Amino acid sequence: MTAPSNYRPAKADRIALVALMLLGAGIVVSSAVSFVSTTAAILGQGPHTVTANFFDLAGKLPLGPGGAEVSAGVVTATVNIPELVAPATGLLIAEAAVQFLAITTVIVCLVLLGQRALRGVFFGRGNTALIVTTGFAAIFGYMLPPILRQMGTTEALLDLSEGDFFNFMLALNPVQLFIAVFVFGIIATAYTVGSRVQRETEGLI
Amino acid sequence: MHVSKRAPAASPHRPAAVDRVTLYALIATGLAIGIERAIRLWNRVASITGPGPHRAPVTPRNLETVVQLGSGGGTQAEITTGTLKVAELSGPETGLLITQEVVTFLAIATIIVCLTLLARNTIRGTVFHRSNTALLTGAGLAAAAGYGAWTFFGQMASNEIISRLSVARPAVYGTSGDFMPYFLGLFAFGIVTVAYAVGARLQRETEGLV
């Protein structure tokens, strides 16, 4: 672990870091409340409201004058399910859990990074590891929950339609993944380089 | 030698070959993303301004209908996102949909340019500098603006289409606003930017000691 340096950030930077850490704590608390309430709702008595994605399911929407129906493709809709089957329950809880874990990991890593910055430690293998972990948690937290939700709602709708409606689609835009890799890659590499430069110059100061 | 604050001079501490290769690969990824987004923007604008029918996304509110699940009976559902096929788009709808695409593209392009310049500075060994802090802040602000513009202009266009089709029935106008991504983005970029800003100050203060 990198030893704390003698340098301490300016007062304004310390206030900014503490404010951001408080914001992080608030986000974790809000996510935990959301996770617990979602899990309780999934495990509780029906009917359950699930949000399902469809691949342009043909439907009629009352959007015309006076509520007249117009043809449309339904992309997302919330559907009331009287009773959730076990696989749907498990998958929907897994979605909420992964989301919560990913957000918490991102926040904890960044809070630790902020804490190290407050101690004057900006670079070091520990900081690089924290940034890389943040990146991976953010990417998994963004990509995995929609897949789990889609699997869960597929099970629920299959049961609701008595095995007649198999609605599985994955709308994953790889460009978003590349953008995330690009952003986190550049920041993480900058941290790696900074650590090395710091190690090389330590003897000179 | 003239040293500009905007374009930091090359540092003697250049990154290792592996880091330089990684950064060049990431810059190439950024360039590819920019080209792909530009082609997408071109196609979308051509489609929006071209002859109908157009497929327009709508995000209504409190819009209940029966959806048919398989060959069995239908089930009641509240539609949160749908696609409407409209014969033609009105002027405001066209303008809003194009603005949504253009502003989002500009935001992504800004992020790519800022981070590419940051990578270039890092390759030259300038990891901490005022310009790097500014570039990171620029990327963060562009990300926030892009996300906001995408949801705001998309929702405006959706409301226009619903209003025109239903002859102004505001009960089904949507309002989009999930603020959690903003808070998460603010938090993540805030922590990293403060670390950069403090690092730049630390470097300036210790430069005289080396």
Beta bridge partners of A59: A72
A28 reaches B (C-beta below 8 A): no
Nearest CB neighbour to B78, from listed A24, A58, A78: A78
Nearest CB neighbour to B19, from listed A80, A157, A193: A193
Distance CA B207, CA B210 (A): 6
Q: Which residue of A has its CA nearest to B205?
A: A7
State residue B199's pLDDT score.
72
A4 reaches B (C-beta below 8 A): no
How far does the CA of residue B71 sit from the closest CA of chain A (Å)?
A: 7
CB atoms inside a 10 Å sphere around CB B55: 13
pTM: 0.79
Mean pLDDT of chain B: 81
Distance CA A132, CA B42 (A): 34
State residue A191's pLDDT score.
77
**8 Å CB contact of B172 and A9:** no
Could you report the per-residue pLDDT of B137-190, keeping only the tens digit for each? 899 889 888 888 888 898 889 888 888 887 766 666 666 666 777 777 777 778
- E strand or H helix that includes residue B94: helix B91-123
State residue B7's pLDDT score.
54
* DSSP codes of every residue in A152-175: HHHHHHHHHTTT----------HH
Contacts of B186 in chain A (CB under 8 A): 20, 23
pLDDT band at B9 (very low <50, low <70, confident <90, very high): low
Matching residue, tokens 């935990």: A32
Token pair, residue B159, equals 């409301």
Could you report the per-residue pLDDT of A24-43, keeping only the tens digit for each? 888 899 999 999 999 999 99
State residue B95's pLDDT score.
95
ipTM: 0.72
Cα angle A77, A80, A86 (rounded to 5 degrees) comes to 110
State residue B3's pLDDT score.
42
State residue A143's pLDDT score.
86
Could you report the per-residue pLDDT of A39-91, keeping only the tens digit for each? 999 998 878 888 888 887 888 888 777 777 888 888 888 888 888 899 999 99
pLDDT band at B72 (very low <50, low <70, confident <90, very high): low
Higher-confidence residue: A93 or B197?
A: A93
pLDDT band at B210 (very low <50, low <70, confident <90, very high): very low
Least Cα distance to B188 among A126, A130, A13 occurs for A130
How far does the CA of residue B2 sit from the closest CA of chain A (Å)?
A: 24
Cα angle B92, B148, B63 (rounded to 5 degrees) comes to 65
Token pair, residue A110, equals 């960044």
Contact indicator for A28, B180 with CB cutoff of 8 Å: no
Nearest CB neighbour to B188, from listed A110, A157, A161: A110
Distance CA A187, CA B122 (A): 10
- Mean pLDDT is lowest, of A23-27, A91-95, B62-66, B153-157, for B62-66
Could you report the per-residue pLDDT of A142-199, keeping only the tens digit for each? 889 988 998 998 898 888 887 777 777 766 677 777 778 888 888 888 777 777 766 6
Q: Amino acid identity of A1?
A: M
Could you report the per-residue pLDDT of B89-110, keeping only the tens digit for each? 999 999 999 999 999 999 999 9
CB atoms inside a 10 Å sphere around CB B195: 30
Window B:10-69, CB contacts with A under 8 Å = 11, 13, 15-16, 19, 22-23, 26, 29-30, 32-33, 36-37, 55, 57-58, 60, 63, 65, 67-69
Contacts of B76 in chain A (CB under 8 A): 79-80
State residue A99's pLDDT score.
92
Distance CA B53, CA B74 (A): 28
Contacts of A30 in chain B (CB under 8 A): 180
Q: Which residue of B has its CA nearest to A34?
A: B180
Distance CA A202, CA A7 (A): 14
What percent of chain B is predicted at pLDDT more than 90?
23
Distance CA A140, CA A143 (A): 5
Provide the strand spans (E) within A97-193: none
Window A:110-129, CB contacts with B under 8 Å = 110-111, 113-114, 117, 120, 122-123
Given a cut of 90, whether residue B44 has pLDDT beyond it is yes
Window B:80-139, CB contacts with A under 8 Å = 80-85, 108, 111-112, 115, 118-119, 122, 125, 127-128, 132, 136, 139
